[in-house]
Amino acid sequence: MHGFIPHGHGTPIVAQYDARMGDIARSAVKLAKGDALVIVDVQNDFLHGGPLPVPRGDEVIYILNRYAARFAREGLPVFATRDWHPPNHCSFLEQGGPWPPHGVADSEGAQLAPALRLPSDTVIVSKGTDAGREAYSGFASSELAALLERKGVKRLFIGGLATDYCVLNTVVDALGCGFAVFLLVDAIRAVDVQPGDGDQAVAAMTSAGAVRLRLEELSG
């Protein structure tokens, strides 16, 4: 009997087919005017060999390079945030904060990763510049929202480091400012101080309204 699929054993063909249909539906994201890429804190200090290395953090670089190339090709703006702390920042252990010193303004460690290939007109946004104030979110520097609005940006594509701190806070603030947010799930990595922190952060971002996206789901 041709075309007969037995129930109860063998491969659940119908379920597989449905899963593929879902992937096809999600692949319809096409870059357009009003879109911007926001790369969060891909700085030497958060990479392999730095004082606050994000596990597998270096892996985001090559994929962010591919996103950045796509945005540049479409003539769409690219933003890169960076921790730019004074040497006595309140988040540092010596000041009673949770972190070893990192992202100290003008230091080598605070530079964006040299392997990150950004368009020459990438807008760099520094944050955490006040000694007494933590600033995980790129929107803690109020200039980011103003710059985005000035360029007519409506949808943000956000990736970088770290999923459970600066990416989380940047995404939540972006949604709060009224931007649509695609979370670049292939271009984020977590600190995971507690195992599962990164997964929890992704769940929090999606329940706040962010839509998960992978590079292969961009069309065109």
Q: Which stretch binds Zn ion (CB under 5 A): 70-78, 81-89, 174-182, 212-220?
A: 81-89
SS3 for 88-113 is CCCCEHHHCCCECCCCECCCHHHCEC
Smallest distance, ligand VGL to C-beta of residue 161, A? 5
CA 193 to chain centre: 18
Smallest distance, Zn ion to C-beta of residue 130, A? 12
Half-sphere exposure in the Cβ direction for 37 (13 Å, CA) = 30
127 carries an active-site annotation: yes
Closer CB to ligand VGL, 46 or 79, in the complex: 46
Is the Cβ–Cβ distance between 160 and 154 less than 8 Å?
Answer: no
Is residue 157 at the binding interface for ligand VGL, with CB under 6 A as the rule? no
* Interacting residues with Zn ion between 85 and 104 (CB under 5 A): 103
Closer CB to ligand VGL, 83 or 217, in the complex: 83
Is residue 83 at the binding interface for ligand VGL, with CB under 6 A as the rule? yes
At residue 85, φ and ψ (nearest 5 deg) are -85, 145
Catalytic residue among 41, 45, 164, 173: 41
186 carries an active-site annotation: no
Smallest distance, ligand VGL to C-beta of residue 125, A? 13
Is residue 84 at the binding interface for ligand VGL, with CB under 6 A as the rule? no
Question: For residues 84-107, b (16+ Cβ closer than 10 Å) or e, as one string?
Answer: bbeeebebbeeeeeebebbbbeeb
